[in-house]
Every structure is written in C-alpha cells, then in structure tokens.
Amino acid sequence: MAKKDQDMFLEDMGFAADVNEQRHQVIPIIASGDDDAIEEVQLPEVLPILTLRSSVLFPGAITPITVGREKSIALVRAVQSDGGLLGAVLQKNAEIETPTPDDMYRIGTAARILKILEMPNGNLTVILSGLEKIEVGEYLTTEPFFKARVTPLLDATPDKNSVEFDALVDSIRDVALNIINTSPSMPKEASFAIKNIDSHRGIVNFICSNLDFSDEDRQMLLEAPGLMARSRKLLEILIREQQLLEIKQDIQGKVKQEIDKQQRDYYLQQQMRTIQQELGEDEDGDIARLREAASKKKWSEATRTMFEKELSKMERLNPAVAEYSVQMTYLQLMVDLPWNEFTEDNLDLKCAREQLDADHFGLEEVKERILEHLAVIKLKGDLKSPILCLYGPPGVGKTSLGKSVATALGRKFGRIALGGLHDEAEIRGHRRTYIGAMPGRIIETIKRCGSSNPVIILDEVDKITVSNHGDPSSALLEVLDPEQNTTFHDNYLDTEYDLSKVLFIATANDIGAVNPALRDRMELINIPGYILEDKVEIAERHLVHKQCEAHGLKDEQMVVERDIVKKIISEYTRESGVRSLDKHLAKLARARAKSIAFEEEFSPVFTAEEVVKVLGKPKFLNEEYEIKDMVGVVTGLAWTQVGGDILYIESILTPGKGKLSLTGSLGDVMKESATIAFEWVKAHYKEYGIDAEAFEKFDLNIHVPEGATPKDGPSAGITMITSIMSTYTGRKVKERIAMTGETTLRGRVLPIGGVKEKILAAKRAGIHTILLPEENRKDVEEITKEYIEGLTFHYVRSNEQVLALALQE
C-alpha cells in the first residue's frame, strides 16, 4: 500500500493527525484484498523487538497497539526516525513487567509503524502494519531496547485453484459469522468486514486477529507452517468456540425455562391457596395430617412451640422447592418419635427369671444384675436405667442376651452395630443444613422401636474407630451417662430428647480397647465362656432344636446324643462360646435333610462314624495331659481370645558357652520372662546343688511347642523357672500339675488374669493340681464350685514355694 493510500485509510478509520480521543474498540484491518499484494519489504538482518503483552500481529493486518513501558516507548520513537520497521513478538506471561529474551516467543511478525498517537495519560497508540512472519534468533542488545537477528518465514500459499482451500476458507467464514451473530460480546462491524474481504489470506488473518481467542491459540495460529495449516487449525478452534457457545446458550435457556416454570407453579399455588381459603380449606393435606398427629403427642411446651414454628415455616414454602421436602421429613420425624411414650414393664420377677433361664444357660451374674434392676423398679416405681457392658470372647451370647432382657421386661428391642463406626454424626446426627442430613442412630432406633424405654444393644463397642470426622466413642459419653442423657441433643432433631428410661446394654470382646472415659460410665460384667458341660447343655436345650427348625426337620429325625456333642466340641471346635459348635450342628442337619430328600435309609441317632463322615477328620487334638516322668517339661496355662488353653514349656542343655536361645514364636514380654527366669536360676544355683560350670559349658534352649502360633505375656514366668531348674538339677516334674504366674528377679510371684479360663482348660486336660499366685485366691473363690470340683489349688508367693511343690525329690 502506498504512503498516500495509507494516510487516506487512516483518516477514514479515525486516526488522522488531529485525533484527540482514543477509539474504545478498533477492529484490525486487512491492508489489501489481494493475496499477493502484501507490501514486500527487504527486511534488515537485525530488527528492534517490540514486546507485546496480549496481542499477536498477523501479516497483512493493521492493528493499533497501546505502548506504555519506557523501553517500548523509546523503541517506537527510535524506529519512527530510522524508517519505521520493527519486530512484534508476544511475551509468554502477560504479568511480567520487565521481560527477558527467555520470556518471549521465538516467532513474531515484522511490522511497519504507520502512525503514532500521543495519549493524554502519556502512553502511545501505535498503528502497526504486519508485513511477514519472522523467527527471532540471537538477541544482540537489551538496552535501551531489544535488538535481535531475525529470519523471514514466508507462509506457504496453496494453489489458487485448490478446491480444498476454497472450501476450508468458506467454512471458516460461515462459522465465524455464526459466532459473531450469536455472541453478544462480538462487535457487529466484524461481520460486515468479513463479508467484504475477498482475499483468502486476508480473511484468515483477519479472523485470527479479531475473534476472541486466547493468546496461546493466536500464537499457535501464527506459528502454523503455511496458510493451509493455519486455516485448518483456525477452523478447529472456531468449531470448538462454536460448540462452547452453543452449550452456554443451552444452559442459559434451561435455567430461564426452570425459572419460568417455578414462577408459574408459584402463581398457580397462590391461586389454589386463595381458592382453598374461600372454600374454608386453608390447609393442605400434609399440613393438616401433621397438625392432627402433633395434637396427640405428649410434648413439653418448648417442644410444641418449636414444632409450631417449623410447621408455620413449611406453610409459607412452595411445595415445588427442595426445602419443602426437607422440612416435611423433619416434621414427620418429630411426630413419629415416641415422646414420653413408654411400654409397661413386666415386674413379675419369677416370670422374668424363667424367661432368662429359658433363653440362656448359665450367665448367672448377668441374670442376677437384671433381676436386681427389676426388683428396685418394683419397690421404688422408678429407677434410672443402668448402663451394662457385657464383655468376653465371641459366641458366648452377649448380643442375644439383650433380646432376652427385652422379652423379660416386656420392652421393645433395638440393636445398633458399632463395628467400624468412624463418624461422630452417626451417633449425634447431621445438621439439617447439610444435603441428605439424617438423625443419629440413637434417635433412629428409638423411632423404629416406637417407645422411649426400649432395650438397646450397642454391639461391638470396642470396634469403634477414630477418624477426621470425629470420635464416635466421645459422642457416646453423653448417651451412656445417666446424669446427662436426660437431655440428649441430636444435631438433626435440634432439641433435647430424654434417654434416661432406655436400658442400654453394650457388648465388647476386648474391654481394653474401649475408651477409658466410656468404660468408666458402664457397669462391666465379664462373660468368660462356657465349660464343656455348659456347651453340652446349651446344645441339647437350644442348638439342636434350633437347627432342626432352620432345616425343616422334626426333632425325632435328628438326635445328637451327649457323647457325640462332646466329641464335636473337643475335636472340631476351639472356642469359649458356641458359635462354631452351632455351625457344625448345622452341617449335620444339612446332611440329614439331604438323606430325607433323597429318601435314603438313615438312623435318627448320629453315630461317631457319621460325624466323621460329615464333618471330616478331627481338627484338634484333645488337650490331654501328655507328659510323664520327663525332665525339663512343665505344663503352663494360657489365656487366648477363644478361652483358656494349656501349653508345654520345654528346656534342654546342649554343649556350648552358656548361651540362652528361645524358640516357639515368642513375643517380647515372654522373652523377657525367660531371661528373668534364667538369671534367677543362675543366681540360686548353690541352693539347688547346680554345678556352676554347667552355665559355661552348656547352652540352654527353651521351646514352647506349636511354633507357628504366636505367644506372649508374663504369666509363664514360674513355669519357665520350673522347667529350667528341672533341666539343670535333673529332677522330674510331678505328674498332672500345671501352673501360671508372673515372676520377678527377686523371686516374687505376681498375680495374673484369665484365671477362670485357665482353670477350665486345666480341667479339660485332666490336670489335678494347679499352682496360682496368692493374690489370685479371690478369683478362684468367685468361680462356681462345680467348675473346680476335683482340682487341688496351691497358692504361692515365691519361686521357692513353686519349686518345692512342683519338683520331685
């Protein structure tokens, strides 16, 4: 374009020399309508580089650029005096105030300055005419402005007869016009300009310069290798923008339609309300039903006032809005809860005892505690319910006992499984501000029971876990404290509820895993497990009949005699409870049901051979006493999760240097007990006639059989001392004697736990004499006499007493 033509063009566009105001919106203009008519200029090897914050200049386009940085102003003034050529390059990050060469792209556009306009704020508006694409090489100077070596990059132009390029440009024009006409933010002058540009190069570069693309997209278009590649990429970006615009319009249309629908529904609802008022029916069905239900509730004045307030709020809501259903659910809960509604307790103590005895064999302590509670209610007429905690091994009837208690009292029964619970809101509920809020399990269970004085089992209270959602066991403190639970606050209910009449019974396997503060609020009752005789009785009274009913059998079709039950218990189960026994009886019932279904001949009475055929070979060896006249082998007593057990501790000397070795998968505490026992024996070798050289010439190995089973605890201390002393002295251990107790380096015998379970294990194994710490005498006295019949107990205070009672002369 000639200099005169350029000046005339600028005057037409409003950039004459006497311009006093900056145009607020300027569309980049394509300088020529002919693809080959872009001004051809011989570019110098070195050009000043103008850094652009957020604009990309394309070849053939005339674009106004605002210049405000001192370095850029100096460059523009210098270039104007030297001939008007520069390189326009986009910086990678527009936020950088003082960019370096590394902060700029390598591809830019050579441009000529057409006009410089002085702005009132001191900035310059520079009209640039894009000439051709360049690649910036080495930067030579950075002050007072950038200068760099440049290499021209000519855009490859498709053949004039290329049908594909013509179709591509037509598609670009159509999509661009559609975006301009659809988008409210695009100036309509752009549509006029696109329709009047005949040059394919011009229309592509115009759209690249003018439409609302990101700087990264514009730079990618500029760097495209040739006009065909740039056109393809431009069409891809335009289609993406068109799809995005269509999605926006679709969303806006749906929102507008929803708002119109809500307004229409609200208007119709108001009309219906007015008609109902005219007819004397000013309450809809839901509100009328809630109001009628509320009139029958035994609420306090504060609760009734709160309900009326929430009901009034619901009346003002449009039933179509989401908050209406939330409010409806809350008010429905309030009328469903049994406020001050109680079932009448059955205070016939004889009947209650019969019910408890009929449902559970044994468990005398628990039954006595329940009967004590009933007796006080009968005499006083009122009593805050105690918080009982039944703890013991699995399968002993802790959970099922709750149902029996509820039946004996004539109360409703509920169960809350706490195993794996990790969210405090499960106990106290969620606040109604949360989406999907629900009441806690306590309130939900009371609602399900339909009375305010049910029996609720808190099952597996020791399995509660702590997480970032809070500690549920801490939330239970309020529930299980008789001084606090009269005013229990559920977050969802948002008012106080009286739990003092609820009989809570917690169950646990490991009482040590329960929160100490929670444990302090409960009355602990240990259920240690059943002896063999108890299990036989339970099987005969309950389990066999239960399995007959469960498998469609008559009692006379499946007869399991006592000897067979004993065989199953001793050879196929190893537990304190009866859960595994129940499973094995179920297996026998299925086998009998199969025989009946296939019309096979069978004897109603199960034989030992049939049991082996159905259940397989015995899984456990009898815990019978197996040592006799052996040196260094002593019978110990141990406690496990499934009850008591016996274990043998063996020791032997081998040639060596006095080293102590331990085998049998022993824990750290048990290893320390062995070390203490060994050191005590070495300290008292003279008293027992042991040769001192034996500690230097022989190694001592202590082994506890069943090496694959982990073992730990301090209660094998005196057993190890007896074994070691027997090995060094050669004195045999007395027959059918077992012992348990912790020892110290001073030779004192300390008390241990699990006494009942250990004694029952000793009796099963055929042990006659048991050595126990003196301080465990009280534990033995609490055990039922029939459990310890035939056993002799010796209570010891020192290791010397143990050895005197255990070793033969």
Please say whether the beta carbons of 705 and 665 come within 8 A.
no
Q: Which are the contacts of 24, defined by CB distance < 8 A and separation ≥ 6?
A: none
Question: How far apart are the C-alpha atoms of 723 and 630, rounded to whole Å?
Answer: 10
DSSP result, 733-798: BPTTEEE--EE-TT-BEE--S-HHHHHHHHHHTT--EEEEEGGGHHHHHTS-GGGGTT-EEEEESB
Question: How far apart are the C-alpha atoms of 530 and 543, rounded to whole Å?
Answer: 14
Question: How far apart are the C-alpha atoms of 468 and 449, rounded to whole Å?
Answer: 31
Angle, helices 441-449/322-336, rounded to nearest 10 degrees: 60
Question: How far apart are the C-alpha atoms of 720 and 717, rounded to whole Å?
Answer: 5
Q: Edge-to-edge strands of the sheet including 413-417?
A: 413-417, 455-459, 503-508, 388-391, 523-526
What Å distances lie between residue 655 and 633, 651, 699, CA to CA? 19, 14, 6
* H/E element, 594: helix 579-597
CA 41-47-52 angle, to 5 degrees, is 105
- Which residue's structure tokens are 């839901």? 286
Q: Which of 596, 592, 575, 579 is nearest to 539 (CA)?
A: 579
Which residue type is seen at 216?
Answer: E
What Å distances lie between residue 1 and 6, 62, 114, 142, CA to CA? 6, 12, 11, 32
Instruction: Report the DSSP beta bridge partners of residue 416.
Output: 458
Instruction: Report the DSSP beta bridge partners of residue 633.
Output: 650
- CA–centroid distance for 462 within its chain: 18
Question: How far apart are the C-alpha atoms of 131 and 114, rounded to whole Å?
Answer: 12
Helices H / strands E in the chain, number of each: 28, 23
Which residue type is seen at 576?
Answer: S
End-to-end Cα distance, the chain: 128
Q: Is 344 helix (H, G, I), strand (E, B) or coil?
A: coil
Instruction: Report the DSSP beta bridge partners of residue 109.
Output: 88, 133
Whether the link from the prior residue into 144 is cis, omega within 30° of 0, is: yes
Question: How far apart are the C-alpha atoms of 673 and 714, rounded to whole Å?
Answer: 6
- Which residue's structure tokens are 């497990």? 529
- For residues 701, 703, 708, 714, the Cα torsion angle rounded to the nearest 10 degrees is -110
Which sequence positions are flagged as catalytic? 715, 758
How many Cα atoms occupy the beta-carbon half-sphere of 235 within 13 Å? 15
Tokens of 622: 């009898």
Tokens of 806: 């255990």
Burial of 611 (0-12, 13-18, 19+ CB in 10 A): buried
